[in-house]
Amino acid sequence: MFYFDRADDRVVFGDIRRERHSLTDKSSKGGARELIIDPDQIMDFRALPFGNDTFHLVVFDPPHLVNNGGSGWLAKKYGKLGADWRDDIRSGFAECFRVLRPAGVLIFKWNEHDIPVREVLALTDAKPILGNRNGKNAKSHWIVFMKGGVA
């Protein structure tokens, strides 16, 4: 949902799922809308299928839900974290920094629906450069990190 052009060859969209769902939505024409999760490549953010120092930029937008049921539209749209979510997110951060080139940028998106952002940021030793909360009352955060080293 971030991309201006999903067909842009500079982008590799990865997800662990490839799914289609019809979601009830009274505001949509016909009373439903399609949710299509169609990554360029199936992958697990805890074990990325790329070599070290591959990318200049990585966007890490992991699932943020723990308490939402598996059949709800939020869980279908965003995925759901398991009981070991701290280990999963810790591994995800490590993988993102591993595949980033020196001085590469990591953009991290997190929604505090279930877990405060401070608990998630405690899972990496990397220090953010900047970030913002999306809207006055919104719970979504965009946080920017830069990998150490020489470009």
Residue 110 lies in a domain: yes
Residue 22 lies in a domain: no
**How confident is residue 18, by pLDDT bands cut at 50, 70 and 90?**
very high
Kindly give the pairing relationship between strand 14-15 and strand 32-37. unpaired
Query: CATH no. for residue 125?
Result: 3.40.50.150
Task: Give the tens place of pLDDT for each residue, 79-91.
Answer: 889 899 999 999 9
Which pLDDT score is estimated for 50? 98
Work out how many domains the chain is built from and give that number.
1
How confident is the model over 54-59, as a mean pLDDT? 97
Q: Quote the domain boundaries for residue 92.
A: 44-146
- The pTM for the full model equals 0.88
Residue 14 lies in a domain: no
CA angle 3, 100, 141 (to 5 degrees): 50
pLDDT at 136 over 70: no
Tokens read off for 108: 């991290």
**How confident is residue 121, by pLDDT bands cut at 50, 70 and 90?**
very high
How confident is the model over 67-77, as a mean pLDDT? 73
**How confident is residue 32, by pLDDT bands cut at 50, 70 and 90?**
confident
Residue 31 lies in a domain: no
Which pLDDT score is estimated for 14? 93
Q: Measuring CA to CA, which residue among 88, 95, 8 is closest to residue 52?
A: 95
Residue 37 lies in a domain: no
Which pLDDT score is estimated for 29? 79
Residue 55 lies in a domain: yes
How confident is the model over 22-42, as a mean pLDDT? 82
Residue 125 lies in a domain: yes
Residue 21 lies in a domain: no
